[in-house]
Structure 1
């Protein structure tokens, strides 16, 4: 996926608003991650996309940055059962399809979703409901 140039000022303000210190590498990664709109990706995908950046980050730096972005609410982590960790720029409530054949993650359209009304046990609140519908070719 091609990197879309987002002005550094906008990227820096977004990071600062989330409590993330806007270092050069974080700004570069944020531009790559958020410049293409809502998307699903893995750390390895971002690593491949950032190979052309002048000071390309290591895979370890990418993992650390993604973890920091998720901790601060900029990204949503989605654990798939095959031990692959995905990230989503759309952090609000929504559900996913995961194609096992192509290893692709996508949003389930809102109009396809059933109403889920699950009460939390006493003294608890529901933080999120994660639904992943796993698909295979018929």
Structure 2
């Protein structure tokens, strides 16, 4: 189940005068702490450090290894196992979505709204695609005692080098 979408550091509400009320405005640490608490997660040192790295930027897609490298550069002292544990906890809390790029690679997505993805065969980059309406009644084979709760479409793409010429097929 997907949780509420949280754009980077925008968890404020509107007052009766229409002005934005953001108790954590301007403070990424307070914004991450609030986001974790609202999602039912305890803001531990590791979660706070990783949350600042994950949610302090625009929506993006990243692997655990990429986050581990970013954490090392930012002097956030966590192991790769802790990275995986936090990513799974954030996903369970609805703060992240997982994207299975190929049968083995998992990418985490900070955009939790309903959408799909392009995956580039050349460099592995992942690009958000606005949600398309998919007629779930056309999906065959769903057991009678089950409901479809999510549909993620991944479209593989490759760059066009010149007009009418494509890169060779990747293997």
Q: Normalized against structure 1, the TM-score is what?
A: 0.85
Q: Write the distance in 2 (CA, Å) between the matches of 1:43 and 1:23.
A: 18
Partner of 1:116: 134
Q: Secondary structure at the match of 1:96?
A: strand
C-alpha offsets along residues 10-29 of structure 1, whole Å, 9 cap, x if unaligned? 11110011111100110010
Q: Which has the higher helix share?
A: 1
Q: Residues 40 and 87 of structure 1 are in contact (CA less than 8 Å); yes or no, is this contact kept in structure 2?
A: yes
Return the offset for 1:99: 0.7
Partner of 1:63: 84
Structure 1 unaligned blocks of 5 or more: none
Q: Residues 98 and 106 of structure 2 are in contact (CA less than 8 Å); yes or no, is this contact kept in structure 1?
A: yes
Q: Write the distance in 2 (CA, Å) between the matches of 1:136 and 1:6.
A: 40
Larger Cα-atom Rg: 2
| 1:38 corresponds to which of 45, 49, 59 | 59
Aligned length: 132
Structure 2 unaligned blocks of 5 or more: 1-25, 160-165, 167-171
The question of 1:134 aligning with 2:152 is answered: no
Q: Write the distance in 1 (CA, Å) between the matches of 2:29 and 2:35.
A: 10
> Which runs of at least 4 in structure 1 moved beyond 6 Å after TM superposition?
none
Q: What value does the CA root-mean-square deviation take over the aligned residues?
A: 2.0
Partner of 1:48: 69
Return the offset for 1:103: 0.9
Q: Secondary structure at the match of 1:98?
A: strand
